């Protein structure tokens, strides 16, 4: 049963790529990511609608391999499409 759950969890993945002027900060697969949008925080799950948004100061929170991770940012932009989240941020 654990193998089946692990297999299903791997299917619900989003590719997350976060870069800054200094270089790549995060490149991983996640099951969910919450971003500090200018109009408020929002969560991206598998098969989320495509969007482009500005980001404000706050934490990008993502779940990778069952563990929650946080990255503090000052500002940035994000594009979501086809289970790919690409963010360009200032830290």
HSE of 83 in the Cβ direction (CA atoms, 13 Å)? 12
Dump pLDDT digits (tens) for 2-30: 443 444 455 579 999 999 999 999 999 99
Range(s) of the domain holding residue 45: 2-90
Looking up residue 72, the CATH number of its domain turns out to be: 2.60.15.10
What's residue 10's pLDDT?
A: 53
pTM of the entire structure? 0.87
Asked whether residue 1 carries a pLDDT value surpassing 70, the answer given is: no
Share of the chain above pLDDT 70, in %: 88
Q: Residue holding tokens 């500002």? A: 75
Q: Which helix (H) or strand (E) holds 29?
A: strand 23-30
CA of residue 6 relative to chain centroid, distance = 20
Number of domains, the chain: 1
What does the alpha-carbon distance between residue 22 and residue 20 come to, in Å, rounded to a whole number? 5
Amino acid 58: pLDDT: 98
Q: What is the mean pLDDT of the chain?
A: 91
Segment 51-68 shows an average pLDDT of 96
Percentage of the chain exceeding pLDDT 90: 85
How far apart are the two ends of the chain, measured CA to CA in Å?
Answer: 41
């Amino acid at each position: 049963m654990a193998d089946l759950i692990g297999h299903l969890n791997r299917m619900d993945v989003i590719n997350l790529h976060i870069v800054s002027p200094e270089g790549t900060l995060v490149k991983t697969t996640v099951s969910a990511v919450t971003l500090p949008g200018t109009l408020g925080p929002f969560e991206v799950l598998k098969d989320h609608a495509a969007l482009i948004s500005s980001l404000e100061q706050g934490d990008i929170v993502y779940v990778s391999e069952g563990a929650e991770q946080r990255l503090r940012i000052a500002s940035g932009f994000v594009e979501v499409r086809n289970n790919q989240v690409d963010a360009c941020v200032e830290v």
